[in-house]
Amino acid sequence: METTLRGVGVSHGVAIGEVRHMGTAVLEPPAKQIPPEDAEREQGRARKAVEAVAADLIARGNLAGGEAQAVLEAQAMMAQDPELTADVNRRIAVGSTAERAVYDALAAYRALLAGAGEYLAGRVADLDDVRNRIVARLLGVPMPGVPDSDEPYVLIARDLAPADTALLDPTLVLGFVTEEGGPTSHSAILARALGVPAVVALPGAGELAEGTVIAVDGSTGEIFVEPSADKKAQLESAAAQRKAALSASTGPGATSDGHKVPLLANVGGPADVPAAVEAGAEGVGLFRTEFLFLDDSKQAPSEEKQVEAYRQVLEAFPEGRVVVRVLDAGADKPLDFLTPADEPNPALGVRGLRSLLDHPDVLRTQLTALAKASEGLPVYLEVMAPMVADRTDAKAFADACRAAGLRAKFGAMVEIPSAALRARSILQEVEFLSLGTNDLAQYTFAADRQVGAVSRLQDPWQPALLDLVAMSAEAAKAEGKSCGVCGEAASDPLLACVLTGLGVTSLSMGAASIPYVRATLAKYTLAQCERAASAARAADTAEEARTAAQAVLSGE
């Protein structure tokens, strides 16, 4: 009998197939004692297992490239953390086996992360994956992970570690559903990059029986269990219509009455550029530069290395716009040479621009590298700072850009509510705003973007978040400047229309979402988008806002 479940749709498309569950997690190793003379051997076993897991994660990252590479390299650094190594060795010295010492040391670290504030608590799933991989290697059992199957299937998991999501084979994994996670979790972002339909934050997903046929709608978040033939035909027809609309939609982003809305790509490095070009991106709206700095947490990359990487991206968009975000370190992206180690809540501490202003040499090197990388190129370079709180921050960043001889527009990201509230003040110092809706939602609602239990507050349709977007866009219009969105909100085609109606001047997203957004925008006039935006802001909940906007755009 057909039943319907609802989670949070995070990656467009429809998948229909049999359920396959993620491989079970490693069992807890027995707590047996070893004689003192075995301690050195066990410490060696632990060290080799950690090194092998870290190497495997880095190799997976190299294969996946782009954003996935940065995420997996961060996981490898987590595995090799010197404090963890010391803790493992200490536990072995007092009688633990290598596998039990690793299990207990990572359990203690897990408890610290879980209580260390929103950002770090969101890395617990990544840490669990590291623990499972090391313990599995020590026990000589198969790694937990994606099931082996000769037939395509829909993957069900409590949560998906980045190492698994990054290398999903889209020819076998038709889509995936998780109990945990949110619309801005690593798995959601990587699913969009792969173009795999996905639904997260679905309570009870693990109770779906192996082999059950389900239909996953990654746009609506609906899961149809044992769908009828009519429902399958309806979903497949809708998917075919969407695919035809995508193929027919080409060229620059615009509404049906010609109001231009440049559609840009979010990239994590040179590896993401080919997909962005193929999708018809008009430039880059968010170039995350962290991937360069995660290679070595002990020191910043050289100016020469940075110049080479930046130039590869800039050369791909002649006459296009490329917006570079300077290093956003801290919180879930700690760097030994930059980030304080003893902050009680790193998400609310020294991160983003604050870290760079505390280490002006790192900022100066990056800005100088960007200046050199853009020399002689016809690209429109824009550089923005993350986590700008007020005009003082904006001025400090603009001054640093000028001091480095950077010939580019300087901008500020709006990720903190204070920046939206005082946007006109900030725009006295910079030339554009870019809304990072992922963090803006997180800080507005005090809701960690990685925690499924609070995913409703991470929903970019929340009217309070739309109010902050509108305030920022209105301030930019009053100052004659631009205001784009580079958060994952821009990847929702319906919400893209609402953002346009709120006055946002450009939209940046994962490359896979660009055709969907382009095709949807082209169906409506600017006036329709504005009416949909007003209707959404008048609602009281995210679900009501989406429904109200949909009603306006469908003419109901």
- Which are the catalytic amino acids? 186, 486
Token code pair at residue 180 = 């945990």
Q: Alpha-carbon distance 230 to 234, whole Å?
A: 6
SS3 377: coil
Q: Using alpha carbons, list the distances in angstroms from residue 6 to 16, 20, 128, 277, 321.
A: 16, 19, 26, 34, 38
Q: Alpha-carbon distance 66 to 62, whole Å?
A: 9
String of b and e for 373-412 (b: at least 16 CB within 10 Å)? bbeeeebbbbbbbbbbbbbebbebbbebbeebebebbbbb
SS3 484: strand
- Torsion angle of C-alpha atoms 141, 147, 151, 155, degrees rounded to 10: 170
Q: Using alpha carbons, list the distances in angstroms from residue 426 to 31, 145, 349, 435, 500.
A: 57, 46, 21, 13, 22
Amino acid at 80: Q
Question: Is residue 397 within 8 Å of residue 390, measured between CB atoms?
Answer: no
Q: Using alpha carbons, list the distances in angstroms from residue 334 to 81, 162, 170, 183.
A: 12, 18, 32, 22
End-to-end CA distance of the chain: 32
DSSP structural state of residue 205 = G
Token code pair at residue 67 = 């954003």
Q: Alpha-carbon distance 99 to 102, whole Å?
A: 5
Helical axes 526-537 vs 493-502, angle rounded to 10°: 90
Q: Alpha-carbon distance 48 to 26, whole Å?
A: 18
Pairing of strands 432-435, 409-414: parallel
- Provide the CB-side half-sphere exposure for 299 (13 A, CA): 4
Alpha helices by DSSP H, listed for 249-333, are 273-278, 290-293, 303-315
Q: Alpha-carbon distance 315 to 313, whole Å?
A: 6
Question: Is residue 385 within 8 Å of residue 413, measured between CB atoms?
Answer: yes
Counting beta carbons within 10 angstroms of the beta carbon of residue 474, is it exposed (0 to 12), middle (13 to 18) or buried (19 or more)?
Answer: middle
Q: Please report the sign of the dihedral spanned by the C-alpha atoms of residue 127, residue 128, residue 134, residue 138.
A: positive
Pairing of strands 482-485, 506-509: parallel
Q: Alpha-carbon distance 526 to 3, whole Å?
A: 38
Token code pair at residue 55 = 């190497």
